[in-house]
Structure 1
Amino acid sequence: MLRALYSEHGGPLFGYVLRLTGGDRSQAEDVVQETLLRAWKHPESLVGRPVRPWLFTVARNLVVDAHRAKRARPPETWIDEQLMTTPSGSDDIDRALESWAVAEALTGLSPAHRAVLVETFYRGRSVAEAATTLGIPPGTVKSRTYYALRALKLALEERGMAP
């Protein structure tokens, strides 16, 4: 079923999502994959109705949700995510030096701030997962992450690594 859906609707769906994401191929591929996964998990939603409009609606909702999720995060997280990702043109030595500087800056943070950043950024846990792991409320994870990122940004700026 999934293969038939993809062969019939995959191309137009990908083109539609690519336009919605502003040409971001990676995000478009992820959205198409998630859309088809939802169709596979909920085949009852496809019975008795045209399939393509349902797929396009689900894809649009996924793009809107991703956009809203990004906008809900404080701007400090956008800047620091850029610092923590490796620039495409840098070589191994530059990456090693940046990693070393970020690790050194992390050691200057309080243990509570460092723990929150390690759980959310390095281990990729959600706020709820980090809260469970650290044994603190989700709201505390959010506020500590906010202040930890601000402190990390300041520490990196002091080391000459301004965004």
Structure 2
Amino acid sequence: MGGVRPRHRQVADEALVRTLFEEHGRAMLAYAQRLTGDRATAEDVVQEALIRAWKHPDALVNGKGSVRGWLLTVVRNLVLDGVRARNARPKEVAESPATVAVEKDHADRVVNSLVVLGALEQLPDAHRSVLVEIYVRGQSVSETAETLGIPPGTVKSRSYYGLRALRDLFTARGTGMEGVA
């Protein structure tokens, strides 16, 4: 017979679930909604609790407590299982224009860094030192001026001409990094 139930058993099971819902459904739904704070989730929990009652009718008859107590315990356990399952997984973050997709391979960044460092080596020392201080070490114009012992206007000028020289190098090489500098 496998998993097929005789017709009279199927009718009896349907009657059991219907009766349970008629007698205890409102209390189960109210309890589930209070625990979850969401009507739709509460309805799903009640449905699952009724399926458990249908699968284990002996627990209702041979139980030590009341039928309603058993059903409300099942509801509570289902809600707790759902909370535990959500807490066990990392939080999902919706993709949006504000969130940047996770980079799968950092090889492009490494190659770009090597290309930029190689190009910096081809610049005159005066331009290279200014660009390193500003863009690699993250210093401001005034900090760079103090570090290198030159006026801020000279830092701005060398930065401008250094970036222009980098752009020309990238364009000449056809690296695709023309917009970087």
Scaled by the length of structure 2, what TM-score is found? 0.43
| Larger RCO of the pair (alpha carbons < 8 Å, separation 6+) | 1
Scaled by the length of structure 1, what TM-score is found? 0.48
Higher helix share: 1
Question: Looking at CA atoms only, which structure, 1 or 2, has the larger radius of gyration?
Answer: 2
